[in-house]
Amino acid sequence: MAILRLSTNADMPHIIHVTYEAWQDVGPSILTRDILSTITHQVLEQKRLANIKRDGFRSYVALVGDQIVGYIDGGSPREEYGDNEIYSLFVHPKYHRIGIAKNLLSAFLEQTQGSTLCCSTKPEEASFKGHS
């Protein structure tokens, strides 16, 4: 069972590792090899740092033992959709299908009750708009 907590600055390298491993696992089935090759630890860190600067930024990590195995980030929407947006939700491939993503999403939704939440596959094109 994973334990959830708010993330800290010290979690950054572990969060980047989870993100990288998740993209390496699922990426080949949805991205071209050229695009996948651009997903580096440095690029992922830059994207996360940009999100951290957004208003209302929140991030939760999931731990199994002392290892970060997943996380969710969100905050103010990047576009006009809703009051809050989920920026990232990743779980390390070795920990898929045991409810970690569901628990992370629940923790995030608990903090956004009563507001409109959006989650997009592209920043400019929301694929899900709903109320929590």
- Each residue's pLDDT, cut to its tens digit, for the chain (132 residues) gives 899 999 999 999 999 999 999 999 988 888 888 888 999 999 999 999 999 998 889 999 999 999 999 999 998 887 777 788 888 999 999 999 999 999 999 999 888 877 777 766 653 333 323 333
| Number of neighbours of residue 92 by Cβ within 10 angstroms | 22
Sign of CA dihedral 129, 19, 5, 55: negative
pLDDT of the residue at 76: 85
pLDDT of the residue at 120: 63
d(CA 123, CA 41): 20
pLDDT of the residue at 30: 86
Q: 66, exposed or middle or buried, with CB in 10 Å at 0-12, 13-18, 19+? A: exposed
Query: 84 CB contacts (<8 Å, ≥6 apart)?
Result: 56, 74, 75, 76, 77, 112, 115, 116, 117, 118
3-class state of residue 19 by DSSP? helix
Whole-model pTM: value is 0.84
